[in-house]
Amino acid sequence: MVNSKKIKSLFDNSKLDLNLSLSSEYPVWFQDFKQKSLDRFKEHNIPSVTDNEWKYTKIDSLLELLFNREVLNRIDPKELPDKNIVSDKDAICIHFHNGQYFASSDLPNHIKIFSKTHDKDIFKNLFKSDINPQRSFLSDMNSIIFSDTLLIKTLQNQKVDTEIHIINHSHYDSIIAPRVHIHVAENSSLKIFEHVKSSTQSVISHLMTIFCEADSNLEFYKLIEQQKDTHFLSTQTAQMAENSKVNCFSWDFGAKTSTTNTLAELDGKKSEFHYSALFTPSHDHHSGNQLRVEHNANKTKSRIKIRGVLNDQSKGVFFGKIKVNEDVLGTSAFMENKNLLISDDATISTQPILEIYNDDTECSHSATSGSIDEEKLFYIQSRGIPEIAAKQYLIGSFIKELINEITSIKIKTLLQNNFQYIDNQS
pLDDT confidence of 77, banded at 50, 70, 90? Answer: very low
* Amino acid 157: pLDDT: 97
- What is the per-residue pLDDT across 164-202, written as a single tens digit (0 to 9) for each? 999 999 988 888 899 999 999 999 999 999 999 999 989
pLDDT confidence of 145, banded at 50, 70, 90? Answer: confident
In the predicted model, is pLDDT for residue 52 greater than 80? Answer: no
In the predicted model, is pLDDT for residue 63 greater than 90? Answer: no
Q: Where are the domains of the chain?
A: 7-371, 376-426
State the chain's mean pLDDT as an integer.
86
27 Cβ neighbours under 8 A, 6+ residues apart: 120, 121, 124
Query: In the chain, pLDDT over 90 holds for what percent of residues?
Result: 50
37 Cβ neighbours under 8 A, 6+ residues apart: 140, 143, 144
- pLDDT higher at 400 or 17: 400
**Distance from first CA to last CA of the chain, Å, rounded?**
35
Closest CA to 108 of 163, 146, 147: 163
pLDDT confidence of 39, banded at 50, 70, 90? Answer: confident
- What is the per-residue pLDDT across 91-111, written as a single tens digit (0 to 9) for each? 999 999 988 899 978 899 999
* Amino acid 133: pLDDT: 43
Parallel/antiparallel/unpaired status of strands 189-196 and 217-224? parallel
- What is the per-residue pLDDT across 196-241, written as a single tens digit (0 to 9) for each? 999 998 999 999 999 999 999 999 999 999 999 999 999 999 999 9
- What is the per-residue pLDDT across 237-264, written as a single tens digit (0 to 9) for each? 999 999 999 999 999 999 999 999 999 9
Q: Quick check: 249 and 195 in contact, CB under 8 A?
A: no
User: Of 74-88, 167-181, 277-291, where does mean pLDDT reach its minimum?
Assistant: 74-88
In the predicted model, is pLDDT for residue 281 greater than 50? Answer: yes
- pLDDT higher at 348 or 87: 348
Closest CA to 240 of 140, 133, 98, 138: 133
